[in-house]
Amino acid sequence: MGSYENGDSPAAGAWEGGVILGVDGGTTSTVCVCLPAAMLPPEAPGAVPVLSRAIAGCSNRNSVGESAALETLEQVMAQALTMASTDHSNVVAVCLSVSGVNHPSDQQKMLDWIRNLFPGDAKFYVENDAVAALASGTMGKLHGCVLIAGTGSIAYGVTEDGKLARAAGAGPVLGDWGSGYGIAAQALTAVVKAHDGRGPQTNLTGAIIRKLEISSPDELIGWTYADPSWARIAALVPVVVSAAEDGDEVANTILRDAVQELADSVVAVVRRLALCGEDGKAQFPLVLVGGVLEGNKKWNISGEVIKSISKVFPGVHAIRPEVEPAIGAALLAWSHLRKESKLENGS
pLDDT in tens, 113-165: 999 998 788 999 999 888 899 999 988 888 999 999 988 899 999 998 989 99
Count Cα neighbours of 222 within 13 Å in the Cβ-side half-sphere.
9
What is the end-to-end Cα distance of the chain in Å, rounded? 30
Q: pLDDT tens digits for 256-300?
A: 999 999 999 999 999 999 999 989 899 999 999 988 998 666 899
CB 202 within 8 A of CB 194: yes
pLDDT mean over 210-233: 92
Q: What is the pLDDT of residue 47?
A: 86
Which of 78, 80, 85, 76 is closest to 6 using CA atoms?
85
Q: Nearest 5°: phi and psi at 264?
A: -60, -35
The pTM (predicted TM-score) of the whole model is: 0.82
Q: What is the pLDDT of residue 119?
A: 77
- C-alpha to C-alpha distance for 241 and 263, rounded to whole angstroms: 18
Which of 310, 269, 268 is closest to 145 using CA atoms?
269
CB 157 within 8 A of CB 143: no
Q: What is the pLDDT of residue 13?
A: 43
Q: pLDDT tens digits for 74-107?
A: 999 999 999 999 999 999 999 999 987 878 888 9
Asked whether residue 1 carries a pLDDT value surpassing 50, the answer given is no
Instruction: Average the pLDDT over each of 4-18, 147-161, 181-195, 312-326 and give the range with the smallest value.
Output: 4-18
Which of 148, 95, 170, 163 is closest to 292 using CA atoms?
148
Asked whether residue 50 carries a pLDDT value surpassing 70, the answer given is yes
- C-alpha to C-alpha distance for 156 and 265, rounded to whole angstroms: 9
Per cent of the chain over pLDDT 90 is 67
In 10 A of CB 232, how many CB atoms?
A: 16
Asked whether residue 205 carries a pLDDT value surpassing 90, the answer given is yes
- C-alpha to C-alpha distance for 176 and 169, rounded to whole angstroms: 6
Q: What is the pLDDT of residue 347?
A: 53
Comparing 63 with 125, the larger pLDDT belongs to 125
Assign 3-class secondary structure to the chain.
Answer: CEECCCCCCCCCCCCCCCEEEEEEECCCCEEEEEEECCCCCCCCHHHCEECEEEEECCCCHHHHCHHHHHHHHHHHHHHHHHHCCCCHHHEEEEEEEECCCCCHHHHHHHHHHHHCCCCCCCEEEEECHHHHHHHHHHCCCCCEEEEEECCCEEEEEECCCCCEEEEECCCCCCCCCCCHHHHHHHHHHHHHHHHHCCCCCCCHHHHHHHHHCCCCHHHHHHHHHHCCCHHHHHCCHHHHHHHHHCCCHHHHHHHHHHHHHHHHHHHHHHHHHCCCCCCCCCCEEEEEECHHHCCCCCCCHHHHHHHHHHHHCCCEEEECCCCCHHHHHHHHHHHHHHHHHHHHCCC
∠ CA(212), CA(215), CA(218), 5° rounding?
95
Q: What b-and-e string marks burial along 30-67, b requiring 16 or more CB atoms within 10 Å of the CB?
A: bbbbbbbbebeebeebeebbbbbbbebbbbbbbbbeee
Asked whether residue 11 carries a pLDDT value surpassing 50, the answer given is no
Asked whether residue 5 carries a pLDDT value surpassing 70, the answer given is no
**In this structure, is the dihedral angle defined by the CA atoms of residues 138, 32, 47 and 332, taken in order, positive or negative?**
positive
Q: Nearest 5°: phi and psi at 225?
A: -90, -5
